[in-house]
A = this chain, B = another copy of it.
Amino acid sequence: MLSDNTTGPSASETPHSGTELDRQVSALVADLSDSAGFLSSGNAGPRYQEDWTGAFGASAPVLRPRTVAALAETVRRLHGAGLRIVAQGGMSGLVGGGAPMRGEVVVSLERLNRIESCDLYGATMTVQAGATLQAVQEEAERQGLFYPVDLGSRGSCTVGGNIATNAGGNRVLQYGMTRASVLGLEVVLPDGTLVSRMGRVAKDNAGYDLKQLFIGSEGTLGIVARAVLRLHPLPRQRYTVALGLQDLDQVLRALAACRADFGPMLTSFEVMWRDFVDFVARGLGIGRDPFAGACGYVVLIELSCYDRHPERDEARIMDALEALSENLGTPHVVVAKSLSEAAGLWRMRDASGEAARHLGAYLSFDVSIPTGELQSCLPRIYAGLDAIDPALRRLTYGHLGDGNVHLLVGCAGPAAEHVEHLVYHEVMRCGGSISAEHGIGLEKNQVFQRLYPAAELDAMRRIKLAFDPGALLGRDRVFGLS
Q: Given A206-B440, A207-B478 in contact, is the A201-B368 Cβ separation under 8 Å?
A: yes
Q: Given A213-B463, A432-B199, A440-B205 in contact, is the A455-B316 Cβ separation under 8 Å?
A: no
Chain B contacts of A433 at CB under 8 A? 199, 201, 203-206
Q: Given A261-B308, A306-B262, A455-B193 in contact, is the A165-B205 Cβ separation under 8 Å?
A: yes
Q: 23 A-B Cβ contacts within 8 A?
A: A124-B370, A176-B180, A189-B455, A193-B455, A199-B368, A199-B432, A201-B402, A203-B402, A203-B404, A204-B368, A204-B433, A206-B434, A208-B463, A212-B215, A232-B264, A233-B262, A234-B260, A235-B263, A263-B265, A263-B305, A264-B264, A307-B316, A312-B316
Q: Given A255-B121, A456-B195 in contact, is the A200-B372 Cβ separation under 8 Å?
A: yes
Report the bound CA distance from A263 to B439 in whole Å.
Answer: 31
A1 at the interface (CB under 8 A from B): no
Report the bound CA distance from A388 to B437 in whole Å.
Answer: 53
Contact, CB under 8 Å: A440 / B265: no
Report the bound CA distance from A402 to B234 in whole Å.
Answer: 18
Listed residue (A203, A305, A456) with the most chain B CB atoms within 10 angstroms of its CB? A203
Chain B contacts of A197 at CB under 8 A? 456
Contact, CB under 8 Å: B144 / A438: no
Closest Cβ of chain B to A340, distance in Å, is: 25
Listed residue (A204, A232, A437, A456) with the most chain B CB atoms within 10 angstroms of its CB? A204
A315 at the interface (CB under 8 A from B): yes
Report the bound CA distance from A264 to B216 in whole Å.
Answer: 26
Chain B contacts of A404 at CB under 8 A? 201-203
A119 at the interface (CB under 8 A from B): yes
- Chain B residue nearest to A375 (CB atoms) is B121
Closest Cβ of chain B to A316, distance in Å, is: 5
A252 at the interface (CB under 8 A from B): yes
Report the bound CA distance from A119 to B259 in whole Å.
Answer: 14
A459 at the interface (CB under 8 A from B): yes
Interface residues in A457-476 by Cβ distance below 8 A to B read: 457-460, 462-463, 465-467
Q: Identify A172's interface contact among B179, B203, B232, B307, CB under 8 A.
A: B203
Closest Cβ of chain B to A255, distance in Å, is: 7
Contact, CB under 8 Å: A263 / B206: no
Listed residue (A197, A204, A207, A436) with the most chain B CB atoms within 10 angstroms of its CB? A207
- Chain B residue nearest to A212 (CB atoms) is B212
1/0 per position for A400-442, CB-CB distance to B under 8 A? 0011100000000000000000000000000111111111100
Q: Given A233-B263, A433-B204 in contact, is the A371-B119 Cβ separation under 8 Å?
A: yes
Chain B contacts of A173 at CB under 8 A? 202
A177 at the interface (CB under 8 A from B): yes
1/0 per position for A166-195, CB-CB distance to B under 8 A? 101000111011011000000001000111
Report, as a range, how many residues of chain A touch the other chain: 35 or more
A247 at the interface (CB under 8 A from B): no
Closest Cβ of chain B to A51, distance in Å, is: 16
Contact, CB under 8 Å: B203 / A436: yes
Report the bound CA distance from A402 to B437 in whole Å.
Answer: 28
Closest Cβ of chain B to A58, distance in Å, is: 24
A40 at the interface (CB under 8 A from B): no
Report the bound CA distance from A124 to B372 in whole Å.
Answer: 10
Report the bound CA distance from A208 to B207 in whole Å.
Answer: 19
Report the bound CA distance from A399 to B204 in whole Å.
Answer: 13
Q: Identify A371's interface contact among B122, B452, B465, CB under 8 A.
A: B122
Closest Cβ of chain B to A366, distance in Å, is: 9
Interface pairs A-B: 9 shortest CB-CB:
A212-B212, A264-B264, A263-B306, A122-B371, A201-B368, A204-B433, A203-B436, A200-B370, A462-B466
A346 at the interface (CB under 8 A from B): no
A209 at the interface (CB under 8 A from B): yes
